[in-house]
Amino acid sequence: MRKDLGAYRNELNQAIDFDRVLDQFAAHTSFSLSRSQIQNALPLQDRYQMQEKLDLVRESIGLFQSGSTLSLHGCHDIEPAVKKAVRQMVLSPQELLEIASFLMACQRVQNTLRDESYEKLVAYSETMQTCKSLMTKIQDCIDMSGSVKDDASALLVQKHQQLVHARQALISRSRDFVKKNASKLMEALTTTIAGRTCVLVKAGEKNAFGGMIHGQSQSGLAFYVEPSSFVSLNNEVQLALSQIEEEKHRICKELSRLTASFEVALLSNLETMTILDCAFAKAHWAIEKDGCVPLIQTQDRSMTLEFARHPLIDVNKVVANTYKLLKDQRVLMITGPNMGGKTVTLKTMGLCVALSHAGFPVCCHRAVLPYYRSVWFDIGDQQSIENNLSTFSSHVSSLAMICSKCDPFSFILLDEIGNGTDPAEGSALAIAILEYLIQKKATIITSTHYNAVKSYGKTHENILVASMQFDKESLMPTYKYLPGVSGASYAFSIARQYHLDSWILDKAKQIKEETEDSRNKELEKLEKLQNEVVLEKERFEKLIRDAHQLQKEAQETKEKLAHRKEVFEKEYQQRLEELLIKKEQEADALIEKLNKTTMVRPHEKTQLMHDLEALQPETKEKEEKDSFAVGDYVQIQDLNSHGEIIELRKKEAVVLTNGMKMKVKTNRLKKMKRPRLEKTQPKAHRDKTFVRVPLELNIIGCRVEEGLRSMDHYLDQCVAHHIKQVRIIHGMGTGKLRSAVWQDLKKHPMVKEYTSAGPSDGGLGATIITLK
């Protein structure tokens, strides 16, 4: 793209603040190598390399949005240390620790990136070698503070033990010495000089103990003396320390040799981790800025940047705009007054193109960009004193180079084309340059103030004229992009706001009207009409947004009321169910009393039945009822009893069941076939007393073993008396007794089937059993 990359980088930095935006990305990196790689990034010419970088960013964004907390903490630029080891130099413990930390980070990445949906990230992570033997060896010898461990080798352990013993002996001897010679010492303490234990002796006694004199106090009244009795023990301590340092050096030397043997794997891992760290940093930036990964397309020259923002502008102040160029539109010409946002728009679009072609995400909600092989900029005042170039000369010099080197795969950004010279000549030059670039099929984003250039753009099929909206009442820019609308300069209005003399303004208007041709007047009228249309459109869109907001609020209110209604209905249903459960419990108690009182008197039985009847909830009459007649055989549903109707009175019937008369409402009756009585031969010996087996058994309150024993005995009686269907009442409780009952029934040889009772028969608190 450029031979002089340094000059090209400076051009990008001056034109679109490329370096400042790259610094935002670099702030998310984990170590220096990836940080440097991002800060030195430039747009690429290789489309496949560009796409590879963008795909990595896309997968990284998906990885972090899925909740992954992958961290590259511990990564370091280990290349200098590895190269040092290869040159047979000894690495420091700190350098070895950085290599181990780096390998641990590689291992974490491999353990995290196992999801096949992140194809490229997984492919990169799988290329890394764990170098487990090197990492383990370093971790065994180097602690987390970057020092050799005391137990890194057997010899090191031994030397540390010798050091401890020597120091203990020296401490003991020095304590005895101080105690014995306290009168000759300035202080009853020992001190250390150059690693050797000494005492502070009075000046007159400095030669009294032999040994060595290591120095004099500042006052000259005392000397630091190493008594002869200390010398041998001090020597032992120093020897042990020296041997320890030698052994540590030997361990580091051995680890350095091992590191050198892993040179290729370590440097390959470093390259991979740098690529991944750059991708992760870009992903974090995109999530933070609510950006996206651009799509680079090669089908045509169309461009779409939806809700594009400049990342250097405060997020609370920046105005998002959508920019589009159709496949036949080669030029986007932005017009409008100064300070209206034209340059910011140019820089935003240029930055999106440069970032996407360098493999970075952009600050948009959606971005589709053509593939460009070269990117050119001419923004700002580039006058040069050294080269004797004026503003216009520098522009012309830049334009000349762009025109000579551009092609259909060039993106060109031109701010105020033709500016800096006579307006008539500047306009003509701008039109000619644009015509030439259009013929070369390059993509151009430009801005202009010249009416002649705007008129040319309005009539050219390959040019889209747009403007930045300006509030003519407040004379303040809104920074909103208006495609298809050319903007007025508002020069006189802005000048009036800054209190320029009214005579000057009136004279300027007069001169303008005299010199302005009819075409420019018509163009100005058209611009005013377009602005009025845009304002009306905005008012209409605001009314639509307000209507949508009211509709949304009404829908939310409706949903709240529906939710409140649902809550009320649930509460009502819950209270109703609680009431029904209470009634069912009372009914169960009466039924249990009926079943237990086999010898009850008739009038008491009738009273209990009336009480039970009173507990039944009112039900709606069915449209089609069973019709009953005297002599029908029926079943009493909630009692699981059956018998013959002997009397019928409106909604009540008298049923003969088990030798007793019961008055029951007809809605509790159900017709059934009369059971067939089998004729049996009279037994030789028959019990004189007749035992009637009840049709249900209540084991509520029993322990599991006791309840199962009672049920088994009850079922044996039922089988003996040819009873086919019974009910076991076990209650709800914790469900433990019910579960045990069902487990026992599953194994019972005479049980045909069993199921939970219906709502009127006890629900989950009872089980209906059908016997074989």
CA distance linking residue 157 with residue 163, whole number of Å: 10
Contacts (Cβ under 8 Å, ≥6 apart) of 314: none
- Give the residue from 585, 587, 330 showing the smallest Cα distance to 441: 330
Q: Is residue 478 marked as binding?
A: no
CA distance linking residue 727 with residue 663, whole number of Å: 22
Beta bridge partners of 309: none
Strands 410-414 and 443-447: parallel
CA distance linking residue 514 with residue 517, whole number of Å: 8
Residue 410 near residue 442 (C-beta atoms within 8 A): yes
φ/ψ of residue 287, rounded to 5: -70, -40
Q: Is residue 338 marked as binding?
A: yes
Q: Is residue 448 marked as binding?
A: no
> Which amino acid type is present at position 461?
E
| SS3 label, residue 374 | strand
Residue 199 near residue 227 (C-beta atoms within 8 A): yes
Angstrom CA distances, 433 to 264, 420, 452, 466, 515, stand at 54, 15, 14, 19, 26
Q: Is residue 733 marked as binding?
A: no
CA distance linking residue 611 with residue 592, whole number of Å: 13
Q: Is residue 762 marked as binding?
A: no
With residue 577 as reference, give the H or E element that holds it: helix 518-596
CA distance linking residue 513 with residue 242, whole number of Å: 97
Q: Is residue 512 marked as binding?
A: no
Q: Is residue 763 marked as binding?
A: no
- Give the residue from 224, 246, 247, 244 showing the smallest Cα distance to 236: 244
Q: Is residue 136 marked as binding?
A: no
CA dihedral for 216, 219, 221, 222, sign (positive or negative)? negative
CA 164 to centroid of chain Cα atoms: 54
- Give the residue from 327, 380, 372, 332 showing the smallest Cα distance to 353: 372
Residue 413 near residue 346 (C-beta atoms within 8 A): yes
Alpha helices (H) along 638-759: 704-720, 736-747
> Which amino acid type is present at position 196?
R
φ/ψ of residue 712, rounded to 5: -60, -40
- Give the residue from 597, 587, 765, 589 showing the smallest Cα distance to 694: 597
Indicate the annotated binding residues: 336-343
Residues annotated in a binding site for ATP: 336-343
